Structure 1
Amino acid sequence: MTPSASTAQALDRYMDRALEYQLAHAGRLPLLPFDAKWSSDCYATQAADDEPTPWRPVRQTEDSDLFERIGQALEQKIHPDIVTFYSRYWSDPLPARHLSNKLVLLQLWNPEDGERLRGNLLGHALMKARKKQPLTLFFASTEPEDMFISINNSDGTVWLEAPGKKPLRQIADSLAAFLDALEPDTIADQE
């Protein structure tokens, strides 16, 4: 099994666990204000702008060249696990716990959100290059600390990092192993 295939399966398992957890603990899908100008397949129904609307993560159905363009800009191939992570689902960020530590899995709401991510990942990569540090690509942030979780682009290991610093410590051998170790948390409604 390829690394990205095992990552896809682990992400699917996590999404199933997260939905089960949400329904068991909140009794319904989370709500957020409908925004016709920031559309997404995640909305469970159409609504008037600003009306609380149920949403859920949904599988992406179209291919994107987002990570090909990032790789071209960085002049290196992007690890397939991070490509799979951001290319498998549309979703709002998802709260989770790893070894009782709170975190938020970053996700893409729509293709335009992918362009925002592209800019952030490129800025992060340029900072890493300036400091002569190995390329890492973030996919989660910790709460309440201002740290993030990333994969090492060369080998796919998962690391805890602080902005502007070298990775602090390895926390998983792979993104799939990290995702399988996550516990879902309730997704709060947004106003």
Structure 2
Amino acid sequence: MIEQTPQALNDFTRRYCDSWQQQAGHAPASRDLHGIPSPCIVATREDEVWWLPQPFTLPQNLDAVERALDIHLQPAVVAFYTAQFAGDMAGTYDGKPLSLVQVWSEEDFTRVQENLIGHLVMKRRLKHSPTLFIATTESELEVVSVCNLSGEVIIEQLGTQKKQVIAPSLENFLNSLQPLTLAD
């Protein structure tokens, strides 16, 4: 399944970039990433950057996370976070809007790993099953995560045991994810 995850992410990224090109006439744009260096930047405007995905140039592992918590991570999640450099991408899954978390640069990869460690530490303190977030939702209290035990994709309410399985695998989730269009 490790090979299918990067391919599914690549397919979604292509659909996302194509949607931007068709609707806006240029690569995906981000105001949030303006002024933050990245190999993804193809143009800088007054208040936004245009970006395209770039190959991941670091070792393809999340060893810092695994060492920090003495845990073995789902290979699909490792493959997801080490497949490419890209901006976060808006999409919908079963009609629910979300933002797929991506690694923007080599420096950002350190931040993402620190955030994953913090999330896993919180889960451990609460005696909850370990999960790894992959997307944010409109609610600050909900994230889309992968269950590290089963590999299922879930929507979980932070700080609680409330969760809902939405896909049997990360690959399935990415294949069903639809780019959020500019008109939406």
TM-score (norm 2): 0.89
Deviations 1:116-162 (A, max 9, x none): 11221111111111111110000101125631000011221101011
Cα distance in 1 between the residues matched to 2:47 and 2:155: 37
Q: Which amino acid counterpart does residue 57 of structure 2 have in structure 1?
A: T
TM-superposed CA distance for 1:12, in Å, is 1.2
Say which is worse superposed, 138-147 or 18-27, in terms of deviation: 138-147
Which of 36, 51, 56 pairs up with 1:55?
Answer: 51
Distance 1:80 1:167, change over 3 A: farther
Which of 11, 36, 39 pairs up with 2:37?
Answer: 39
Distance 1:132 1:43, change over 3 A: same
Distance 1:115 1:25, change over 3 A: same
Q: Which amino acid counterpart does residue 42 of structure 1 have in structure 2?
A: C
2:14 maps to 16
Deviations 1:80-129 (A, max 9, x none): 11111111111111100111110000111112111111221111111111
Displaced runs of 4 or more, over 2 A: 30-35, 50-54
Cα distance in 1 between the residues matched to 2:11 and 2:127: 36
Cα distance in 1 between the residues matched to 2:63 and 2:179: 31
Deviations 1:139-191 (A, max 9, x none): 10112563100001122110101111124110000000000001002369xxx
Q: Which amino acid counterpart does residue 152 of structure 1 have in structure 2?
A: C
Distance 1:52 1:143, change over 3 A: closer
2:119 maps to 124
8 A contact 2:17–2:28 mirrored in 1: no
Q: Which amino acid counterpart does residue 179 of structure 1 have in structure 2?
A: L
Q: What are the residue-to-residue correspondences of 1:1-191 with 2, within 5 Å? A: 3-32=1-30, 35=35, 38-45=36-43, 52-65=48-61, 67-144=62-139, 146-186=141-181
8 A contact 2:12–2:175 mirrored in 1: yes
Q: Percent identity?
A: 31
8 A contact 1:94–1:187 mirrored in 2: no
Cα distance in 1 between the residues matched to 2:164 and 2:49: 39
Q: Which amino acid counterpart does residue 154 of structure 1 have in structure 2?
A: L
- Structure 1 gap segments, 5+ residues each: none
Cα distance in 1 between the residues matched to 2:48 and 2:164: 40
- Structure 2 gap segments, 5+ residues each: none
The alignment partner of 1:28 has SS state of coil
Q: Which amino acid counterpart does residue 15 of structure 1 have in structure 2?
A: T
8 A contact 2:135–2:145 mirrored in 1: yes
TM-superposed CA distance for 1:61, in Å, is 3.2
